[in-house]
Amino acid sequence: MSRFLRPEAVAALQRSQGVLVSAAVLALGLYVALRSFGLIFWLGAVIALAGAVSLIAAAQRMRFAAGSGGPGVVQIDEGAIGYFGPLGGGVIARSEMTALTLDRTGKPAHWVLSQPDQPDVMIPLTAAGADALFDVFAALPGMRTERMLAEMRLTTPGTTILWQRPGTVAPHLRLM
């Protein structure tokens, strides 16, 4: 298929693949629901509802993707988030994480993952595999995903604490 399409078009289709599939499921469910009655109507309605929920999640995931080609590689393995970069890196356990900060002062912007008694792990938004962090961050208790996505789109330099475990001190207020 790539012989028939420009590389930019292929990349755009791959980025929006989840949205396209979810929209197709939604359309199929609506078609079945509107063309039938009884049990088949309810089956179509359930398929349409699943497509709508999946469409919302896929749109958020697509907005989370900040690009590629950045320094380093992100690996997620059984609750451990690892970043291995050219100048540094580290591993942090999701269960031990106390704060998630978005630092837009560098080029590219970085996620700052904090845990007690360990140095912060800084992960560029454009690192290879950084898209997988969406599921990890969305699973944090009390995380506001839409706020995180809105903060990612800001271009003004600064840092923002996006999530903090209840009962912990903010990372910038800790004594080292």
Q: Percent helix, strand, coil in the chain (nearest 5)?
A: 45, 20, 35
| Same domain flag for 165 and 97 | yes
Number of domains forming the structure of the chain: 2
| Same domain flag for 59 and 78 | no
> Residue 176: its pLDDT value, please?
44
How far from the centroid of its chain's Cα atoms is residue 116's Cα?
24
| Same domain flag for 85 and 124 | yes
> Residue 121: its pLDDT value, please?
87
Residue 84's H or E segment, with its range, is strand 80-84
pLDDT, tens digit, for every residue of 85-109? 887 888 898 888 999 999 888 888 8
Q: Which residues of 106-131 are buried (b: 16+ CB within 10 A; e: fewer)?
A: eeebbbbbbbeeeebbbbbbbbebbb
Range of the domain at 145: 73-169
> Residue 89: its pLDDT value, please?
84
Mean pLDDT of 110-118: 88
* Residue 40 pLDDT level (bands cut at 50, 70, 90): very high
C-beta separation of 104 from 90 below 8 A: no
C-beta separation of 41 from 81 below 8 A: no
